[in-house]
Structure 1
Amino acid sequence: MTLLILGLTTFLGVHSTRIFADGFRNAQVAKLGLNGWKAVYSIVSIAGLMLIVYGYATARMTPVVIWSPPLWSRHVAALLTVAAFVLLAAAYVPGTRIKRVVGHPMVAGVKVWAFAHLIANGTLADIVLFGSFLAWAILDYASARRRDRTAGPEYARGSRTRDLSALIVGLAAWAAFAFWLHVWLIGVPPFGG
């Protein structure tokens, strides 16, 4: 559990600089240049992610069960993760109306993904992992929306075609992950088995 917590602190810590230390971030960008800052940010993120993966895998070997989720929670989680994948896709498909309405669809998608996993999993490691991501995403989304109100960004009006593209990409990514990649990467079939 220690490695999981260290990984979460590292990964979410570096991803929280815009929330808690925007001045520090701006100073580092000025000192290192944008690409230099992105390089440091990426290296720290990868190190944190590796610790999360290893720490979570280790913690799952001796699970501490806090609660046993009811069967219906898996079905709700599956539906919620569909929405999460569509939001993630909308973050990268330029000019979606989804982005115009949501503002920060990737962070919103992380919130939905983390919540879905919290209701469908009941071990201490699950609660620490997904609870941390949910708390971070809530804080990050609120911080980003505050910055938006100050800066007043203008999102493209978007079109139905762009939204449809985000929907198709999101659904395809969800299906690939739900039916193949989740069990291959995580070792757990999302639909039981």
Structure 2
Amino acid sequence: MSVLILGLLIFLGIHSLRIFANDWRDRQVARLGAKRWKGLYALVSIVGFVLICWGFGLARQQPVLLYVPPLPLRHLNALFTLIAFVLFFAARVPHNRIKAKLHHPQVLAVKVWAFGHLLATGMLHDVVLFGAFLLWAIVLFAVSRRRDRQTGTTYPAGTLKGDVMTVLIGVVVWALFACWLHLWLIGVNPMS
């Protein structure tokens, strides 16, 4: 469990600089330059992510049951995950109304993904992983929306074409992940 927690601290820590140390972050970007900062940021993120994956795998070998979720919640998690995939791609597909309306759909995707998994799983390692991501996403979304209001940030209006592309890509990637990649990468078949 300690490797998982260390990975979460590193990964979520570097991704929390805009929350807790935005002025320091801005000074580092100015001092190092945008490319060097992004490279360092990516390196720290990768180290944290690898530790999360490794630590989660280790923690799964010594499971501690906290609660047994009802079976319908596992199936409901598939819906939450589908929504999370659409939100994730709303952050990337240009000219969609989802991003125009929600402003930070990727952070919302993390919230929905983590919440759904907390409903569907009951092991300690699941609660640590998904609970940490859910808490981080709640705080980051609130801070990001407040910063948008303070700076007067607006997002481009979306189009029907952007909406359709966002939903289509999200659904297709979700189906590939749910029906094949989740079992291959995680070892759990979410459709069973």
Residue 34 of structure 1 corresponds to 34
Gap regions ≥5 residues in structure 1: none
- Aligned with 1:92: secondary structure? coil
Checking the alignment, whether the CA contact within 8 Å between 1:10 and 1:44 is kept in structure 2 is yes
| 1:16 aligned onto 2:22 | no
Please give the alpha-carbon distance, in whole angstroms, between the structure 2 residues aligned to 1:20 and 1:106: 19
Checking the alignment, whether the CA contact within 8 Å between 1:9 and 1:48 is kept in structure 2 is yes
Q: CA RMSD in A?
A: 0.6
Residue 116 of structure 2 corresponds to 116
Checking the alignment, whether the CA contact within 8 Å between 2:111 and 2:133 is kept in structure 1 is yes
Q: How does 1:87-102 map to 2 (within 5 A)?
A: 87-102=87-102
The offset of 1:91, in angstroms, is 0.4
- Give the letter for the 1:124 counterpart: L
Residue 45 of structure 1 corresponds to 45
Residues 118-171 of structure 1 deviation map (CA, whole Å, 9 limit, x = unaligned):
000000000000000000000010111011001112211111110000000000
Q: How does 1:1-193 map to 2 (within 5 A)?
A: 1-192=1-192
Identity %: 53
The offset of 1:117, in angstroms, is 0.5
Please give the alpha-carbon distance, in whole angstroms, between the structure 2 residues aligned to 1:77 and 1:6: 27
Checking the alignment, whether the CA contact within 8 Å between 1:95 and 1:155 is kept in structure 2 is no
- Aligned with 2:146: secondary structure? helix
Checking the alignment, whether the CA contact within 8 Å between 1:16 and 1:140 is kept in structure 2 is yes
Gap regions ≥5 residues in structure 2: none
Q: Give the TM-score of the pair, scaled to structure 1.
A: 0.98
Please give the alpha-carbon distance, in whole angstroms, between the structure 1 residues aligned to 2:177 and 2:124: 24
Q: Which runs of 4+ in 1 moved over 6 A?
A: none
Q: Give the TM-score of the pair, scaled to structure 2.
A: 0.99
